[in-house]
Structure 1
Amino acid sequence: MFIHKLQNIFRLGCKELWSLWRDPIMLLLITYTFTMSIYTGASSMPESLNNAPIGIVDEDHSALSERVSSAFYPPLFTPFETQLDQMDAGMDAGLYSFSMTIPSRFQEDILANRGATVQVNVDATRVTQALTGSSYIQQIILTEVNSYLQGHRSVTSLPVDLELRARFNPTLDRQWFGGIMQVINNVTMLSIILTGAALIREREHGTVEHLLVMPVTVFEIMMAKVWSMGLVVLVASFVAVHLVVKGFMHIPIEGNLWLFFLGASLSLFATTSLGIYMATVAKSMPQFGLLMMLVLIPLQMLSGGLTPRESMPEVVQNIMQFAPTTHFVNLAQAILYRNAGFDVVWMPFLCLFAIGAVFFYFALKRFKETIHTMT
C-alpha cells in the first residue's frame, strides 16, 4: 500500500514536470529568475556610493582648490567641471547627484585663518547616496585642507593601535552579499509561484476533476506538487550558484553547499505548502498574484536578509519567528558566509521542519475543503 502511494506521488509529480515543460512563460521566468535577476540584484548598489556624478565649480583656481577638486575620483565619484550658472540646471536635470562650489579667495582665506565656506548641494531624491556621499565629501575636503596646511599627509598617533579585519568579506564587496541573498529570495519567490500556478492551472483547465476520478488521494496530489516544483527550484538554484554566482560573478563560497541545499529543501517544503494554500484561497491567477505580493514582500523584507532583524521592533521579530524565510536566511548566511556546520545551524533546520509541517497540514486541510466544494 505504501509503495503504491509512492508510485502515485511519483507519477503525478512527473505529470507536473511535463506540464511545466510545456509552459514557455514559466520556463522563461525560471531562467530569468536564476540568471539575470541574480546579477542585477547583486550588481545594483542603491545604498552604496559608486561613481556618483559631482559637478565642481572652482572659482578660486588656486593650488588648494585644484587639490580639493582632484580628490574626487572613481570609483566613489565621477567629477564634472562646470560653471556656476550651469550648476542649478544640471542638478534640476539630474546630471549631478552632488555639486560643489569653491569660492574665490578660498586658499587666501584658509592661509589667513579667516575661514572659508564651500557650498555643497545634494540631490536628496537619491536618499541613500545623499547620506553616504555627504559624509564622504566633508571628509575629503577636510583631509585635503589639513594636509595642505601641514605641508604633508601626517598620520595621527593614537594611544591604541586598532587593527580592523573584515571577516567573511575582506574586500567589503556588496556583490558577495547581494548575489547570495538574491538566490535565497528567488528560491522563496519561485517556489510559491510554481506551486500556486500549478494548482490554479489545473483548476482553470478542469484537470482537477479528472484527478478526482482516479484512484489517488488528495494527499498524493498535493505531495506530488510539492516534490516536483520543489525539485525544479532546487535544481535551478544549484545551477545558479555554480554557473552565475561562482562562475560568472566570481563570488567565493566557503561553506558546505550540500548542507545549504538540505536546508533549502526544508524551506521549499514550507514555501511550496504555502503556495498551495494561497492557490486554494485565490480564484484566479490575477488574484493569486495580488495575494502573493501581500505575503512575499513581508517575508523577504522582514526575514533579516535585507536589514538586520535586531533593528526591527520586537513585536515584528517575534512574529517573523514563525516565517520560514527567517530561519532559511539565518542558516544560509551561516553556512555560505561563515562556513558553519550542522552543529551551529541545527536549530534553524528544526524550526524549518516544524514550520513546514504546520504549513503542510493547513494547506492539505484547505485543499481537501476546496476539492469537496468542487465535487
Structure 2
Amino acid sequence: MRNFLVRRLRVAAGVLLGFLSAAVELVLTLASGLWLLATLGRSADERRGETPILAGARWWAGLQRRRMTLWYGQDPAGVAAPLTGMPALAYVSTRWTVGVLGGVVLLAALSGAAYASLLVWGWFWVDLDRWPVTMVISAFGGLFLLFLSMQGVHAVALMDEQLARHFLSPSDRMSMQRRIGELAESRAGVVQAVHDERRRIERDLHDGVQQRLVALGMLLGRARRAPDPGKSAELLRQAHEESQQALVELRDVAWRVYPAALDEGGLAAALESVAERAAIPVRLSCDLRDIPPPTAQAVAYFVAAEAVTNAVKHSGAAMVTVRADRTGALLRLCVEDDGRGGADPSGSGLLGLARRVAALDGTLTVASPAGGPTVITAELPCV
C-alpha cells in the first residue's frame, strides 16, 4: 500500500511539473508559429541548419523526457536523446495541451480533497443542526471526485508518455538504418574476431606444437646417429616424452578452438571442462532447464573460458565463480573473481568477446573496479 501511494504521488508530481512546463511550451509554440510565417517563402537551402527555435525545442523536449523518466519511472521516448529539428518542435507545440489538462485534473483533485476533508474538520465548523446531510453528501462526493481525479492523473501521465513516444521515437526508416548500421558493425567485429582467433591459433601452433615437433625430430635424428645403444635409448625416451607433450599441447589448441564436450554434453559439460583445466578453484553453477541454441552455447563457453583464463593470468584471484542460467529467451552467463580488479574492457581479449556476443545481438558488461571484484556478464538472446 505504501509503495502504491508513493508511486501515485510521484506521478502526480510529474504531472504538476508538466503543467508548469505548459507555459513555456505555449511561448515556444507562438514563437515557432511566427518563425514559420517568417520563413514561409524561403527555399529549403535557405532554411537549412538548426535555428535557435529548433535548438530550443530539441533541448526542451530532452528536458521533458528526463522529467518523465524521473517521475514516471521509465523512458517513454525509447531514445537516448530527442530527435533534431521539426519532430521535437511538433512535440513541444502539442504537449502544452496535455500539460494544461494535467493542471485541470490536479485542481479537481485538490477540490475533491478539500470537500473530503469535511469529514475531519466539518464537525467543528459546520452547523450540524442545519447542514448535517449536506456536509456528509459533500464529503463523500469529494472522496469520489478525489478518486476520479487520481485516476485522471494516471491517465494524463499515460497521455504524456504516448505523446513523447509518438513524436520522439525514431521512424521505421531511421530504425531500419540504425539496425543496418548495427549489423554492419557486428559483422565487421565478427570478421575481426575470427582474424584474431586465427592469429592466436597460428601462434599457439608455431610456439608450442611446432617447436615440440622440431625437438622431437632432432632427438630422433640424434638417436639414429648415436653409436652407443644406451645413449640411443635415452634419446628415444626423451623423444617419446616430447611426443606426449606435443599431443597434450595439440589437444589444448583443439580444445580452445572448439571443445568436443560442447557437442557431446552441452554447455554444462563444456563449463565443467573449463573448471577442471583452470589453475585455481572454479565454483560452477549451471541452471539450464531449456537447452539454448548451439551458437549461444558456443559464445557462452568462449566467454567463460576467456574470462577464467584472464582471472588466472592477470587478476591474482584465489577463486572464480561461473554462473549460467536461462530465463525465457535469454541466456545469462556471469563470471566473477575475487582478484585485484582493474580489467580493461578495451583490451584485445575482452574486446574479442564483446564482438562475439554482439554478433548474436547480445550484450557484454565488464565491472572491474580497482581492488576487485571483477564481474563479466554476457546476456545472449536464444530466440
State the TM bucket, normalised to the shorter chain: under 0.3
TM-score (norm: length of structure 2): 0.24
The higher-RCO structure (CA 8 Å, 6+ apart) is: 1
TM-score (norm: length of structure 1): 0.25
Larger Cα Rg: Structure 1 or Structure 2?
A: 2
